[in-house]
Structure 1
């Protein structure tokens, strides 16, 4: 191999995407000229060890300006003495516009609206070489001969840890701080800072420094937002018309749906009058609703036996003619103590839910019946 007397890297002069370039040659001589461009540093490597380095400028190699290499090779003083070494050019400039994004969505339960969301995030970050010796030590074994390592290739090494840390921190902010996904935009700056601190240690292991880290957007699909929008609309109705009227309205909506569903089981049973107690369960607490109406329902109609047609006195539980139960079975509301029809979903007196809650054994949070995973900590709920 011919001895090289001029060392210069200009193959990517106008391309700022490169990070490390290995010079295509290893045979040099004292007296050779070394040229290092602005924003570059040239490093002499011998036996996998980073030795002497040169910043921007033009140099004539001698035993005085390559002391570490001279010590290892034992170059004699004076004359043009040949020696073998590797030369690496490193880009010292900052690369500030590196894009990142979550490939898979972050799936979690919104702490405010209690619905499952699929959250994605994307943004930019910047990095630069901070310790060229560490960088070369970690890269030399994996670098192909005479080839440049660019920022894109380097990013592939860190993409997994970067996205994993970011997803974890976003999920922690939403769950631990109980911040709704709709309100998380206000926390983007804080989360960005946390992410930068968390991933910096991983980059430092390779001699790199994270200059900046930004989350530009945290979002979720439109169909997930439609569920939240539905809840917000119902809440607005609740706030406008008041607690009791909202419960009454919802109960009538449920009765109307069940009665109109003539082809379904509920509609058939209500329409044919089979089991007055079932009718109360489907319609939600008819007795409580009727008591709140401006025009009261005649007492005789309420106490008329559905089986034999006999009219019974007020307060009678069973028909005096055939023994059929007239009044519905009731249960006591845990919040206000009032008796409510057995199959009611909400108390007609205070609006409290009558549905049994599932208690998470891990964090103690209340969950709706049928919930598979705790809305607070994600623990699988026992049947």
Structure 2
């Protein structure tokens, strides 16, 4: 090999990037310090953008296709270098490829409960988790924000920063959506479509775009969930007296599962029921059943307290509370 062949091999003739990874966003072509030959072939594949950087300054941007590197195809670089007509010498630039495909299954979540405004509960703390899909929308802006002197930028390098953006904006987005926490589960798809655009401004400053935003799960504090369970039980029963009987039955059932003395408790209750049926002096078969014992003053006061709590929580309206209160006071 002659000396001219050796020199010729030092020039870069072909520039391309075959991405064999799933998470690389920026990749710098490894020119190994060699100059690029005038007329070299640049290949940019679909979902790629190639950017020439001249002494730290962004020059020409190449979209998908095959490009011959001449002054006609490099107008910005030609201006920066003040190349004259007919310039055919090798030149030195940094070539960066930016991956513009969609990056899917990005995780987001609220590390701590956040307080959101709710049209029904006024304020409530919730946790939320999900995924989103993003892509590079403005390759030049993204390169300015994240490249620096790093030859390779992967999804993991900016994942934490993007997650913080989602977390900081999620409560505001929920407030603007004006959807009750009770309706979140059945509105995940619609809500995700609303939240995506609300987050787009923060992603846009980095040259990124949220393509899809998904909410997979939301959860409330245990005490709120317990309160909602009570409300559901009441709505199923529909009557305060029946609700008390229902609670008593649940308590006996739990005691039977968790306590060795439950059998005696159940036995006492059953025994009392049997005694009422066969005790001496009991009414003969066919006679009218004895009247139910009146509720004690303590029971009625307890029910009034429960009614007050339900009204304060917004479950009972003022009219419903007044009617039940009058009914109970009449028994005192």
TM-score range for the pair, normalised by the shorter chain length:
0.5 to 0.7
Which residue number corresponds to residue 13 of structure 2?
6
Deviation at 1:199, TM superposition (A): 0.9
- Root-mean-square deviation (CA, aligned residues, Å) is 4.1
1:248-285 deviations in Å (ceiling 9; x for gaps): 869x99xxxxxxxxxxxxxxxxxxxxxxxxxxxxxxxx
Deviation at 1:117, TM superposition (A): 7.1
Partners of 1:184 and 1:148 lie apart in 2 by 39
Q: How is 1:112-151 mapped onto 2 (pairs within 5 angstroms)?
A: 119-141=126-148, 143-144=149-150, 147-151=151-155
Deviation at 1:192, TM superposition (A): 0.9
Please list every run of 5 or more consecutive structure 1 residues that lacks an aligned counterpart in the other structure. Answer: 254-292, 303-339, 359-383
**Greater CA drift, 27-36 or 156-165:** 27-36
Q: Residue 119 and residue 33 in structure 1: after superposition, are their counterparts in 2 closer, same or farther (change >3 A)?
A: same
Conservation of the 8 A alpha-carbon contact between 1:123 and 1:217? yes
Partners of 1:354 and 1:87 lie apart in 2 by 68
Which residue number corresponds to residue 215 of structure 2?
215
Which residue number corresponds to residue 170 of structure 2?
166
1:294-347 deviations in Å (ceiling 9; x for gaps): 3688xxxx9xxxxxxxxxxxxxxxxxxxxxxxxxxxxxxxxxxxxx99x93445
Give the TM-score normalised by structure 1. 0.56
Q: How is 1:338-349 mapped onto 2 (pairs within 5 angstroms)?
A: 344-347=301-304
* Aligned partner (choices 269, 285, 291) of residue 294 of structure 1: 291
1:163-202 deviations in Å (ceiling 9; x for gaps): 22224434666xx65x244x32122233212210111111
Conservation of the 8 A alpha-carbon contact between 1:75 and 1:81? no
Deviation at 1:73, TM superposition (A): 0.5
What is the aligned length? 261
Q: Residue 249 and residue 55 in structure 1: after superposition, are their counterparts in 2 closer, same or farther (change >3 A)?
A: closer
Give the TM-score normalised by structure 2. 0.63
Structure richer in helix, relative to its length: 2
Deviation at 1:118, TM superposition (A): 5.9
Which residue number corresponds to residue 23 of structure 1?
29
Q: Which of 1 and 2 has higher RCO (CA within 8 Å, sep 6+)?
A: 2
Partners of 1:75 and 1:87 lie apart in 2 by 19
Q: Residue 110 and residue 36 in structure 1: after superposition, are their counterparts in 2 closer, same or farther (change >3 A)?
A: closer
SS of the residue aligned with 1:122?
Answer: strand
Please list every run of 5 or more consecutive structure 2 residues that lacks an aligned counterpart in the other structure. Answer: 1-8, 250-289, 314-332
